Amino acid sequence: MSLWNENPAGNNTQRQVLSVRQVNDGISDAIDRAFPRTIWVRGEVQRFPHDAAHRKHLYFELQETGSSGAAEYQVAVALMGWDRQRFSLSRYVDGTDPDFQIANKIEVCLECKVDFYAKFGKISLKIVGVDKTFALGKLEARRRETLAFLTEHGLLQKNASVPMPELPLKVGLITSPESAAHHDFMTGIAASGWAFEVTLRGAKMQGELLQAEVIKALEAHAKAGVDVIVITRGGGSRADLSWFDQKDLAVAIAECPLPVITAIGHEIDTSIADMVAHQSCKTPTAAAEHLVEIIDRAARRLDDATEQLIARSTSLLEDAHRRLEVTEMLQGRIDRVLLKIRLNIQQSAGRLLHRVSGNIASGRENLGHLASRLHTGASRLMVLSKGQLETAPHRLQRAASHRLTATGKVLDMQQERLVREAPRPVLSADRKLLRLEEKTRLLDPARLLARGYSLTTGPNGKIITSSGQLAPGETILTQFADGHVSSIVQPGTGTGKSKPSSSKGKKRGSKQEKTGQKSLFR
């Protein structure tokens, strides 16, 4: 409707005045003429609803950033409920498409109808199609750039070089609380029976908040002193999982001071987070099984070490018992030899003492006989010389006195000699006893064994002193100062050589054959 009114300045010229509806209808007609068909529009998604899967109509924005990284242009976008059904677009919203899902900060290419809602004067783009290959191509390009950066800075294998603890029982878990991934991981841990201590730090597993929240959780777990960190989520589209391809998140995982285990998506999915992690598992359950297997291996190593320790201890105890038996047997033989030597010494001392006592008694008896004979001779001389005494008392008295003096001297000399000679047999016997004692000490088998000699016994335990005492096939035992060797006699030409069959103690068994080892009793 056109109205012609006078000019406020008083001029008679007419002007055209349009209503709001007329203006909006004109704009709508102009837009229809400018965009008679659908168009393809590319841009970065912004303000996409987090609960889009449950909404009938979706409203968000597409923006274009300039060289500064800030948004320079933007346009409103709408995905109406009837268009979702008509053009089968719900799969790009609810995650049922295996490759792509619309989300914030993803660059997309959408087929749209430019729409102007005349009632409110609002221009928007109505989505009627999605080019998911465009978005996936952009994601792949970004992924390749991130991989090139990580390779250039040597970060792909950095976390893998962090040593895994032998018993990673303190686990820092990063996932969405109460999610299926959380439940699957905890079920696998609980079923193991091991004393795992799991600390959960919740984080977004999709969307623009994922990177910041996961990095924050990584830092918190590292400060808390856990043994290992697990990042896990369930399956999703390639676009969903592309959030784990972000560069800052990959750098944080690579430079984490603790080993990081990832279990992201399905078996066919491999994110950059998987590539820089210490270990990548296909599912949350597989991540739990991986940790359980580490503990199982440690338990098996402990069981093996315990069995080896028991076997080694048993073997050492058996060897010690056998050596103790041999030592006791040798000690018994040595005691018997020493007892025999002591008996011989005592018998020799007794015989010597008997001989000395006999010599003293004999000397005393001879002295008595001599005194008796002297007395008898003197009496006889006195009788025979009685007449002479009567006739020559003075001369006889002088002669008798002289004879008695001479006889006294002889007796004194005999007594001195007896006193001087009597101790000599005792001293001789004492020196002989000392020599026997020294010889006994020198013949102690322990001293001879220490000097390099050996002692060989036959099957019956008797000492071998000649090769003629041995027969082929018999087992002999050769004792050294630091061990013994068991040998089997081989047939020969009277050489008496033996072949060692087993060794207990230090390895000196074959030295007797090769070098002519000195033997104590050969």
Q: Which residues contact 453 (CB under 8 A, 6 or more apart)?
A: 518, 519, 520
* H or E element that contains 91: helix 91-94
Q: Which residue range is the domain that position 379 belongs to?
A: 316-442
435 and 468 belong to one structural domain: no
421 and 322 belong to one structural domain: yes
Last residue of a domain, one of 442, 457, 480: 442
Residue type, 94: D
- Report the CATH number that the domain containing residue 67 is assigned in CATH: 2.40.50.140
275 and 161 belong to one structural domain: yes
412 and 351 belong to one structural domain: yes
Q: Is residue 300 part of a domain?
A: no
- Average the pLDDT over 511-522 and give the result: 40
d(CA 270, CA 149): 18
Handedness of CA 99, 102, 103, 104 (dihedral sign): positive
Q: Is 505 left (phi over 0), alpha (psi -120 to 50) or beta?
A: left
- Report the CATH number that the domain containing residue 179 is assigned in CATH: 3.40.50
Q: Is residue 520 part of a domain?
A: no
- Average the pLDDT over 103-131 and give the result: 89
513 or 181: which leads in pLDDT: 181
Calculate Rg over the CA atoms of the chain: 60
Tens digit of pLDDT for each residue in 141-164?
Answer: 777 888 889 888 898 889 999 999
Compute φ and ψ for 317, nearest 5 degrees: -65, -40
- State residue 221's pLDDT score: 94
454 and 425 belong to one structural domain: no
- State residue 11's pLDDT score: 57
291 or 347: which leads in pLDDT: 291
- State residue 187's pLDDT score: 93
Q: Supply angle C-alpha 415, 421, 422, rounded to 5.
A: 85
Q: How many domains does the chain have?
A: 4
Q: Which of 483, 516, 512 is nearest to 500 (CA)?
A: 512
Q: Is residue 301 part of a domain?
A: no
- State residue 290's pLDDT score: 92
- State residue 302's pLDDT score: 85
Percentage above 70 pLDDT, the chain: 87
- State residue 161's pLDDT score: 92
Q: What is the 3-state secondary structure (H, E, C) of 112-154?
A: EEEEEECCCCEEEEEEEEECHHHHHHHHHHHHHHHHHHHHHCC
- The most confident of the ranges 13-22, 412-421, 434-443 is 13-22
Please state which of the ranges 242-246, 413-417, 440-444, 472-476 shows the lowest mean pLDDT: 440-444
Tens digit of pLDDT for each residue in 34-43?
Answer: 899 999 998 8
Residue 2 has pLDDT above 70, yes or no: no
326 and 400 belong to one structural domain: yes
d(CA 420, CA 482): 53
Question: To 10 degrees, the CA torsion angle through 416, 417, 420, 426?
Answer: -140
- State residue 510's pLDDT score: 40
Residue 23 has pLDDT above 70, yes or no: yes
Task: Please report how many Cα atoms fall inside a 13 Å half-sphere around the Cα of residue 142, on the Cβ side.
Answer: 19
| Chain position carrying tokens 């977004």 | 204
d(CA 305, CA 294): 17
Residue type, 474: E
Q: Is residue 234 part of a domain?
A: yes
476 and 360 belong to one structural domain: no
- According to DSSP, residue 463 is labeled B
Tens digit of pLDDT for each residue in 57-75?
Answer: 999 999 887 766 677 888 9
323 and 435 belong to one structural domain: yes
* Residue 499 pLDDT level (bands cut at 50, 70, 90): very low
503 and 458 belong to one structural domain: yes
- Reading the block at residue 126, the tokens are 């109505």
Q: Is residue 141 part of a domain?
A: no
- State residue 501's pLDDT score: 45
- State residue 237's pLDDT score: 66
Tens digit of pLDDT for each residue in 27-36?
Answer: 988 988 989 9
d(CA 157, CA 161): 6
* Residue 461 pLDDT level (bands cut at 50, 70, 90): confident
Compute φ and ψ for 230, nearest 5 degrees: -120, 125
Look at strands 260-264 and 228-233 and give their pairing: parallel
Q: Is residue 236 part of a domain?
A: yes
Percentage above 90 pLDDT, the chain: 22
3-state secondary structure of 423: helix
Q: Is residue 107 part of a domain?
A: yes
- Reading the block at residue 490, the tokens are 């081989």
222 and 113 belong to one structural domain: no
Mean model confidence pLDDT for the chain: 81
- State residue 9's pLDDT score: 55
Q: Which residues contact 109 (CB under 8 A, 6 or more apart)?
A: 40, 41, 42, 130, 131, 134, 135
- Average the pLDDT over 286-315 and give the result: 88
Tens digit of pLDDT for each residue in 463-498?
Answer: 888 888 888 888 899 888 888 899 998 886 444 444
Residue 3 has pLDDT above 60, yes or no: no
Rounded to 10°, the helix 423-442/284-384 angle is 160
Please state which of the ranges 5-19, 147-161, 278-292 shows the lowest mean pLDDT: 5-19
- Average the pLDDT over 81-91 and give the result: 90
pTM of the model as a whole: 0.45
- The most confident of the ranges 39-43, 236-240, 499-503 is 39-43
3-state secondary structure of 41: strand
Q: Is residue 137 part of a domain?
A: no
- Average the pLDDT over 122-146 and give the result: 82
201 and 278 belong to one structural domain: yes
363 and 432 belong to one structural domain: yes
Tens digit of pLDDT for each residue in 358-413?
Answer: 778 777 777 778 778 877 877 777 777 676 656 666 776 777 678 888 877 888 88
251 or 206: which leads in pLDDT: 251
